[in-house]
Structure 1
Amino acid sequence: MNWSTVLLTLYVLIWPVLVAGTLTVIIRAFIKDWREARREGRPII
């Protein structure tokens, strides 16, 4: 295998990791805000 194949493979495989990390941050922030709103008795929207 040459370097261009290795680099292209890493480039393609890194995207699912980045997307999963970003989605995790967004979901955790949403759950935190949702719990806080529920505790205060106000709608989240």
Structure 2
Amino acid sequence: MTGFWMTIYVLVWPLVTLTTLSVIVRAFFKEWRQARKEGRPIV
């Protein structure tokens, strides 16, 4: 039974990482599009 939970634990981390990365990337592109529309640099 311990092996099952260890497998679940190991497989969940890529999902957590992917979710976090996708939120960051979506926010970046939203800000980038808005900055381009307003004609200002993003940095």
Same fold at TM > 0.5: yes
Q: Once superposed, which parts of structure 1, at least 4 consecutive aligned residues long, lie more than 2 Å away?
A: none
Root-mean-square deviation over aligned CA pairs: 0.3
Deviations 1:1-45 (A, max 9, x none): xx1000000000000000000000000000000000000000001
Give the secondary-structure state (helix, strand or coil) at the position aligned to 1:37.
Answer: helix
| Structure 2: gaps spanning 5 or more residues | none
TM-score if structure 2 supplies the norm length?
0.97
TM-score if structure 1 supplies the norm length?
0.93
User: Partner of 1:12 in structure 2?
Assistant: 10
Aligned-pair identity in percent equals 53
